[in-house]
Amino acid sequence: MDDKIVTQGLNAYFGDVHAIKGIDIHIPSNAITAIIGPSGCGKSTLIRCMNRMHEVMRGARVTGKVLLDGQDIYSSQMDPVLVRTKVGMVFQKPNPFPTMSIYDNVVAGMRLNGERNWRKLDAVVERSLKLAALWDEVKHQLDASGVSISGGQQQRLCIARALAVEPEALLLDEPCSALDPIATAKIEDLLFDLKDKYTIVIVTHNMQQAARVADFTAFMYLGELVEFGVTKKVFENPDKELTEKYITGRFG
């Protein structure tokens, strides 16, 4: 299995705070990788470094390398906007653009890139909403506000928006933490369907979710990568005692 994203000696800082420390990780293509660990351990910072979202925060900086298909995304030759197109992100709280319709939310990125052909935009809306398992639920209300639908639907709309620009990887930062169990199950089913086309990385506090959806799991603690491997092995026979203590609920 090829690696889509590789970090080498990755460090991230917020001012003087050393948030993640020397992370070396290989994210396989067309698989779901979960990142678990207690609050404040650096999970969200790690994935934000994978599409250069970390650097938009005041006082933030990165050292080390993040390779996307072998290319260092922090190279001076790499356009950060292009990186974020190739590596999409979905956040913890659904964040459709409130003044835009469902349709306009999906194609916002394409319009930003100058696309005006309505036939192409129509096709992208249908394709993206179908990929996000939302088309059948909203196809008759595409002119409705993006915030008029349920929280679970809004999160799938945000996934559709990320997919519309045809990324290669999708990063999800606790995408189900604000959702009820039924909406969570729909998102999880969706991730299974999407991994054939995309490389997926999901940050989650929910270890049951990681066990259900992830092919690989990374466990982080205090900014460091403690263990990474096939999910079944990490959960059932971890190499590190610290991993076992976290998974069995003895801390965190």
CATH of residue 191: 3.40.50.300
* Residue ranges of E strands in 117-215: 169-173, 199-203
Residue 247, pLDDT > 80, answer: yes
Q: Predicted confidence band at 172 (pLDDT cuts at 50, 70, 90)?
A: very high
For residue 183 the two structure tokens come to: 């909406």
160 in a structural domain: no
17 in a structural domain: yes
155 in a structural domain: no
As a whole number of angstroms, the distance between CA 128 and CA 116 comes to 17
The pLDDT tens digits for 45-97 are 999 999 999 988 888 999 999 999 999 999 999 999 999 999 999 999 999 99
Instruction: Name which of 12-16, 114-118, 173-177 the model is least confident about.
Output: 114-118
Q: What percent of the chain has pLDDT over 90?
A: 93
Q: What percent of the chain has pLDDT over 70?
A: 99
- What is the domain range of residue 221? 3-94+167-247
Angle at 149 between CA 171 and CA 162, to 5 degrees: 25
58 in a structural domain: yes
135 in a structural domain: no
- pTM across the whole model: 0.94
User: 119 φ, ψ to 5°?
Assistant: -65, -40
118 in a structural domain: no
Residue from 200, 199, 186 nearest 149 by CA: 186
226 in a structural domain: yes
Q: How many CB atoms lie within 10 A of CB 74?
A: 18
111 in a structural domain: no
What total of structural domains would you count in the chain? 1
